[in-house]
A and B are shown apart, each in its own frame.
Chain A
Amino acid sequence: AQSVTQLDSHVSVSEGTPVLLRCNYSSSYSPSLFWYVQHPNKGLQLLLKYTSAATLVKGINGFEAEFKKSETSFHLTKPSAHMSDAAEYFCVVSDNAGNNRKLIWGLGTSLAVNP
């Protein structure tokens, strides 16, 4: 069975400092991994995805994540936080088979960015 563990429920950083949101996964298959962001009162937006190609994945708004199979991790990073990055971030896994896939979600990490 697949699962996702987001290691921090809440992360607080200062504007301009690096962001690290941690995610570990468990999967019986070769997984696809995603990070989604949810701003207050908004829908779920895809930040980036890993699908068995390059292990370092770049996404929107300067975010990137590195797939590390040996550590079963897919941590999300950004070199310099911006106030607009304050949001809820979800790490998501799906099995790598077919186009019709259910997504398994982590509990989310709430990112606060302080001025």
Chain B
Amino acid sequence: EPEVTQTPSHQVTQMGQEVILRCVPISNHLYFYWYRQILGQKVEFLVSFYNNEISEKSEIFDDQFSVERPDGSNFTLKIRSTKLEDSAMYFCASNGPSYEQYFGPGTRLTVT
């Protein structure tokens, strides 16, 4: 069964450093998303992406964040200068025509 994959599973970085979280969505899906879950809080929408551009973004997704689909398979989330409050679990998701979103296992980002 096809699945969304994410790497790395755990990333530790120092405050102010740039991080790139990687996702490989399901191959025939066209809609891509990033969500995050701060420990003990609800899952929050960050951004949706379709046809090589951002469709919608939340107020969390400020200028420090960017997304890219550099090739036909990867979908990345970049945080330019990480802050302590960026520590969270980051989930990638994708969907096709059925709009049922499939999630990856997540990347746990720890900013120290």
Contacts and interface: CB of A to CB of B under 8 A. Distances in A.
Interface stretch (B12-20, B66-74, B78-86, B91-99): B91-99
Interface stretch (A11-19, A22-30, A38-46, A73-81): A38-46
A46 B102 contact: yes
A100 B50 contact: yes
Contact of B106 (A32, A43, A100, A105): A43
B42 A107 contact: yes
Interface residues of A, number: 21
Interface in B45-96: 45, 48, 50, 55-56, 58, 91, 93, 95-96
Contact of A43 (B45, B99, B100, B104): B104
A100 B48 contact: yes
Contact of A105 (B44, B56, B95): B44
Given A46-B102, A105-B42, A108-B42, A99 B31 contact: yes
A98 B95 CA distance: 12
Given A49-B100, A103-B35, A44 B45 contact: no
Contact of A102 (B33, B104, B105, B106): B33
A106 interface: yes
A32 B99 CA distance: 10
Nearest to A51: B99
Nearest to B55: A100
B93 to A, nearest CB: 8
A96 B70 CA distance: 30
Nearest to A106: B42
B65 to A, nearest CB: 15
Interface of B: 4, 30-31, 33, 35, 41-45, 48, 50, 55-56, 58, 91, 93, 95-97, 99-106
Given A43-B91, A100-B31, A105-B35, 13 more contacts: A43-B103, A44-B103, A90-B42, A98-B99, A100-B48, A100-B50, A100-B55, A101-B48, A101-B99, A102-B45, A102-B56, A106-B42, A108-B42
